[in-house]
Amino acid sequence: MFARALVRPSGTNGILRLFLRAQSTNALTKTSLPFTYSTSGPSKVLYTNQHEWIAAHQDGTAFVGITTYAADALGDATYVELPEPETELEAGESVGSVESVKSASEIYQPVAGTVLEANSALEESPQLINEDPMGAAWIAKIKINDAKDLETSGLLTLEAYEESLKHDEH
Amino acid sequence: MLSRVIQRRFNSSQTASNLKKTALYDLHVALGGTMVPFAGYSMPVLYQGQTHIESHNWTRTNAGLFDVSHMLQSRLTGAGATEFLHKVTPTDFQALEQGNGTLSVLLNEHGGIVDDTLITKQRENDFYVVTNAGCIERDSEFIRSEIKNFTGDCQWDVVQGRSLLALQGPKAHEVFEPLLREGQTVKDLFFGQRRSYELFNGIPVDVARSGYTGEDGFEISLPNDKAVEFAQLLLDNQHTKPIGLAARDSLRLEAGMCLYGHELNEDTTPVEAALRWVISKSRRAGEGTKFNGYEKIMDQINSNSYSDVRIGFKYLKKGPAARTDAKIFLPDNKTQVGVVTSGSASPSLGNINIGQGYVSKANRKTGTQLSVQVRNKFFPIELAKLPLVPTHYYKP
């Protein structure tokens, strides 16, 4: 969807403006809890090639959600299936799912950890997934088992993730 | 899963070179349509600037323009055309008035549904037939073989070079009527009727008051080389937006209509599909030509000799949608009594989940509470009358 937005405007200025916006589209929203949980912000924000993000804080707490790219591709969210607190999940296990009218998609845990809390705001307002997927629509707050997993699980930086999207779009 | 959905949606254009294109293909692309493979065609699923739910709601409140040119338009003619239809469908086409159309089903020898179809009597023994794009091969094989075994005079010809556009929604008539040549009107064209008109610029169009959304609207057949110009004229009206396959499916699901391959297949009879009304009373006595599967279908009607029947349902609380092949249980969540054939959130009902499916006859009553299984959880549902959202057809 934003792949199309990138190519449609005819003027160079339009392309440049959209390109800049696209570059920051999958960055964490600075005003929402996944960022503001620590005063200094998360120590790491990383991405999976299946379009999840994880914002990890110094104390081992992390927030998990889906990227703007994924939310745009799914369309209007109509229901979000949330995890139960205290669920222990390995990397790659399902932490929830997002439904649109047309389809349902699993969300996978980026690294092993235990669910501390699910974002209950999504129960009443699944559309948050489309409005602020990189912030207010965080899906789970988790305790990471081992911070080293963030380095060794093949997670992507924002730059690497957005680079991978360019290949997705061809 | 997330990546798979995205891959499917974003890579769908890669195979586009092998796909057929309708006359409106370039217009779809220019309008920002996300093109996907559908029944051998590259078709728009959604257009830029609208979400699925916005497209859906727009059609329920304004006018949505759908390209349905992928559907097969054909003609059955010859002195035996009516008799032939009486062999392959259970509907009375002798009694049908000229200029009127009706939904019917093509039946195989076991009374199973080969396809659902809209058949209009243009003149005595001259029928205009619309069948599903996804069934073109099977339908062609079926009709040709039936004609071969038919002793009367009947020809089947595919209509070539014509597009089919559906304009649907409560404002469809406001959008369409001003485009007609002066003195012509659709005020006396009622639901199910079909007539030839001429646009103000001389383009000849064949207009049926019908559709697949539950709303008032038109299905308009016209020459391919005029289709883009006509579509543009419709879209110039601020009440019209182009609508893709995504909303087409959610609209028909709410309207209680069947999607071939989901609610209907060759093992399903019209009795099981809750389509008894296509079996005309006058055809049930078995006088004259008997329709395919007559014995079985009449026994199902007279002796209730069938087990499962199509139903509609609504969720009683929130949850993930029960989609195709989800199991339906008694409230004990142990005894399976049916299966879901289509299901999704319903934009017209505040996004509560709805669906259609088949359940055992004993559990078919409206209001029956059952449950559906989605992944490992169970969600309570209540059987509801079809259509699940009220229809608004233009009737006298």
Residue-by-residue DSSP string for B225-250? HHHHHHHHHHHHSTTEEE--HHHHHH
Give the mean pLDDT of chain B.
Answer: 95
Q: Are B380 and B317 in contact (CB under 8 A)?
A: yes
Task: Report the side by side order of strands in the sheet with B126-131.
Answer: B100-107, B113-123, B126-131, B72-77, B155-158
CATH number at residue B357: 2.40.30.110
The minimal CB distance from B345 to the residues A50, A52, A101 is found for A101
Domain finish residue from B213, B230, B254:
B254
Does A170 fall in a domain?
A: no
Query: For residue B16, what pLDDT band results from cuts at 50, 70 and 90?
Result: low
Percent residues over pLDDT 70 in chain A: 84
Which residues in chain B have Cβ-Cβ distances shorter than 8 Å to A51? 2-3, 6
Does B283 fall in a domain?
A: no
Does B23 fall in a domain?
A: yes
Q: What is the pLDDT of residues A22-60, one digit of tens each?
A: 445 899 999 999 999 999 999 999 999 999 999 999 999
Q: Within this chain, do residues B311 and B377 fall inside the same structural domain, yes or no?
A: yes
Chain CA centroid to CA B69, Å: 13
Q: Tokens 């505040």, residue?
A: B350
Contacts of A127-130 with C-beta under 8 Å, sequence gap 24+, read A127/A76, A127/A77, A128/A77, A129/A66, A129/A71, A129/A74, A129/A77, A129/A80, A129/A98, A130/A71, A130/A72, A130/A75, A130/A76, A130/A77, A130/B51
The minimal CB distance from A73 to the residues B10, B345, B347 is found for B10
Give the lowest-confidence range in A10-24, B72-86, B211-225. Answer: A10-24
Most confidently modeled range among A99-103, B54-58, B284-288? B54-58
CA-nearest residue to A94 within chain B is: B1
Q: Are B76 and B155 in contact (CB under 8 A)?
A: yes
To test the contact with chain B by mutation, choose from A101, A106, A123, A166 the residue with the greatest count of B C-beta atoms within 10 A, namely A101
Asked if B30 is an interface residue toward chain A (Cβ–Cβ < 8 A), one would say no
* pLDDT at res. A167: 79
- How close, in Å, is residue B216 to chain A by CA atoms? 23
Please state the domain count of chain B.
2
Domain finish residue from B213, B235, B254:
B254
Which residues in chain B have Cβ-Cβ distances shorter than 8 Å to A105? 1-2, 5
Is residue B315's pLDDT more than 60?
yes
The CA distances from residue B144 to A144, A163, B40, B105, B138, in Å, are 65, 54, 21, 16, 10
Q: Are B28 and B168 in contact (CB under 8 A)?
A: no
Cα gap B116→B131, rounded to integer Å:
7
Q: Within this chain, do residues B223 and B345 fall inside the same structural domain, yes or no?
A: no
* pLDDT at res. B281: 97
Backbone angles phi, psi at B116, to 5 degrees: -100, 150
Does A118 fall in a domain?
A: yes
Q: What ipTM is given for this predicted complex?
A: 0.85
The residue segments making up the domain with residue B318 are 307-396
Backbone angles phi, psi at B7, to 5 degrees: -55, -45
Which residues in chain B have Cβ-Cβ distances shorter than 8 Å to A52? 2
**Was B219 annotated as part of a binding site?**
yes
Task: Determine the 3-state secondary structure of B116 from DSSP.
Answer: strand
Task: Determine the 3-state secondary structure of B342 from DSSP.
Answer: strand
Q: What is the pLDDT of residues B185-203, one digit of tens each?
A: 999 999 999 999 999 999 9
User: Between chains, do A75 and B46 touch, taking CB under 8 Å as contact?
Assistant: yes
Does B179 fall in a domain?
A: yes
Is residue A14's pLDDT more than 60?
no
CA-nearest residue to B321 within chain A is: A99
CATH number at residue A143: 2.40.50.100
Does A68 fall in a domain?
A: yes
Q: Within this chain, do residues B337 and B192 fall inside the same structural domain, yes or no?
A: no
User: Between chains, do A76 and B34 touch, taking CB under 8 Å as contact?
Assistant: no
Is residue B17's pLDDT more than 90?
no
User: Between chains, do A102 and B56 touch, taking CB under 8 Å as contact?
Assistant: no
Classify residue B322 by its DSSP letter.
-
User: Between chains, do A78 and B351 touch, taking CB under 8 Å as contact?
Assistant: yes
Q: Within this chain, do residues B211 and B353 fall inside the same structural domain, yes or no?
A: no
Asked if B48 is an interface residue toward chain A (Cβ–Cβ < 8 A), one would say yes
Q: What is the pLDDT of residues B317-360, one digit of tens each?
A: 999 999 999 999 999 999 999 999 999 999 999 999 999 999 99
The residue segments making up the domain with residue A56 are 26-165
- How close, in Å, is residue B320 to chain A by CA atoms? 6
Does A46 fall in a domain?
A: yes
Please state the domain count of chain A.
1
Q: Within this chain, do residues B40 and B178 fall inside the same structural domain, yes or no?
A: yes
Is residue B236's pLDDT more than 50?
yes
* pLDDT at res. A11: 34
